[in-house]
Structure 1
Amino acid sequence: MAASCLLAMTLAACSTLPKPPVSQTANSAAQQRMQTLAAVQQFSLQAKLAVQYSGKGYTARLEWQHSGQEDHMRIFSPLGQQVALIQRTAQSVTLTDQNGKQHHANDVASLTESLLGWRLPLAGLSQWILGIPHSGSPYQASYVASGEPVTLTQDDWRIEYEDYQPTALNGTNASLPYTTRLQQQDIRLKLVIQHW
């Protein structure tokens, strides 16, 4: 009996461990981290993607190559079939569907909304996925003492970061997010990085 009471007390204590303190302003570690990662001009990643919108939901696998003014993103079904290929250059945005038909628009968000039913915020996502805001609009964020953001709000999206891992990315060593949640109205996206 005493052992079971001790176990229950230990579990209760573990579940109420305090979370690290969070600040609404970027300390020097956060500013240095943003400056370092803002210089990253290209990356490639593989991730699991979960999407919920309008009472619907599905999971997919994502392969994304980002470099400067270009993005190539492939979205695969859980069975490995390519559902969409999104290509963005400085001049155009194209989505090739699973039947090979090409669709064009001015931006990825409106294109994915019209064809897939949900908005993919690619304009900000290339920075948000690194755990930093983009420079194009105001933002609000909360940070832990080591400089990583816990939350980020920008362009009407709320981004939450659940975990970070030390990662080497194009010669830059940084703590990068591995689980990122994004929400805008009823659209919820979850990205879990499998490989940088």
Structure 2
Amino acid sequence: MKWMVRGPLLAAWVLLLAACASGGGRKPAPPALVDPEDVAAAQARQSTREAWLHGRKEWGFEARVAVSQAGKGGSGRLDWRQQGARYTASLSAPVTRQSWRLSADEAGARLEGLEGGLRQGADADQLLREATGWDIPVQTLSDWARGLSGGGRPEFGPEGQLQALDQAGWRIRYTEWLPAAGDQPAMPRRIEAERGQARVRLIVDRWDLGAAP
């Protein structure tokens, strides 16, 4: 029964993986800041932007996402919408016209769109892993996407922006940023995360950070 559920989703993502994974080899990251004064200044700027972002309770983004694990994977489009503690992550594979939607709040998580009907559980990461086989850190993806360091160990690039983050066994790299606009801080554009054989790549096409509280 488990393979009947996973099959359609795996097929859709494998067909699309090459388009997102064919961008060539990874460019080496510039040296991280090491001077204590420079690091302190970067951390202060990071704290300011995090405070600004924490003040937005309703926000979202549209992105391209690619996932691979043990040599298998796929890609599609991700639409993330956050309303307080509740979020909805909708993923679609345009070529195959398949899609699913994961929503979660303090009461639990719901996964819709897979063969077999609605699935529910207390933990969004576990629910997705059991249904699809993919190790995707859904619970913390929203923080990573916004460039929030959380309880991780951050590294800053030459321009003082967050460049890498180690958290819960994951290595997250920020390889491109969108510039600040008005009072809105700079936002991540390209993000790569990996842990063991699991890899997630996110390219954000549009941010919607909502109105001021």
| Normalised TM-score (structure 1) | 0.79
Aligned-partner residue type, residue 102 of structure 1? L
Q: Separation in 2 of the partners of 1:142 and 1:67?
A: 29
- The match for 1:32 is 45
Conservation of the 8 A alpha-carbon contact between 1:131 and 1:148: no
- Sort the Cα spacing of 1:76 and 1:66 in 2 relative to 1 into closer, same or farther, 3 A: same
**Any gaps of 5 or more consecutive residues in structure 1?**
1-17
4+ runs deviating over 4 angstroms: 18-21
Give the aligned partner of residue 22 of structure 1. Answer: 32
1:61 alignment partner, SS class:
strand
For residue 62 of structure 1, what is the aligned residue in structure 2?
A: 78
In terms of mean alpha carbon deviation, does 71-80 or 45-54 score higher?
Answer: 71-80
The answer to whether the Cα contact below 8 Å between 2:109 and 2:123 also exists between their aligned partners in 1 is yes
Give the superposition deviation at 1:123: 2.0
1:149 and 2:162 equivalent? Answer: yes
* Equivalent residue runs for 1:91-106 within 5 Å: 91-99=107-115, 101-106=117-122
Structure 1 match to 2:179: 166
Structure 2 distance, partners of 1:189, 1:19, is 18
Q: How does 1:121-140 map to 2 (within 5 A)?
A: 121-134=137-150, 138-140=151-153
Q: 1:27 Cα shift? A: 2.3
Residue of structure 1 equivalent to 2:192: 181
- What is the SS of the residue equivalent to 1:132? coil
Per-residue deviation, 1:172? 4.4
Residues 46 and 162, structure 2, Cα contact 8 Å, conserved in 1 = no
Asked if the contact 1:31/1:147 (under 8 Å) is kept, the reply is no
Aligned twin of 1:193? 204
Where does structure 2 lack aligned partners over 5 or more consecutive residues? 1-27, 208-213
Deviations along 1:141-188, one digit per CA (max 9) or x if unpaired, are 2102443111101111110011001255xx841111100001111110
Question: RMSD across aligned C-alpha pairs, in angstroms?
Answer: 2.3
Q: Where does residue 210 of structure 2 map in the other structure? A: none
Rg larger for: 1
Would you tell me which structure has more helix in proportion to its own residues? 2
Do the aligned partners of residues 120 and 167 (structure 1) sit closer, same or farther apart at CA in structure 2, a change above 3 Å counting?
farther
**Is this contact kept in 2: 1:87–1:94, CA < 8 A?**
yes
Would the alpha carbon gap of residues 129 and 78 (structure 1) be closer, same or farther in structure 2, given more than 3 Å must change? same
* Number of corresponding residues: 174
Identity across the alignment (%): 24
- Greater CA drift, 142-151 or 109-118: 142-151
Q: How far apart are the structure 2 equivalents of 1:28 and 1:80?
A: 47
Match of residue 10 from structure 1: none
Rate the CA distance shift 1:172–1:90 in 2: closer, same or farther, 3 A. farther
Aligned-partner SS, 2:95: coil
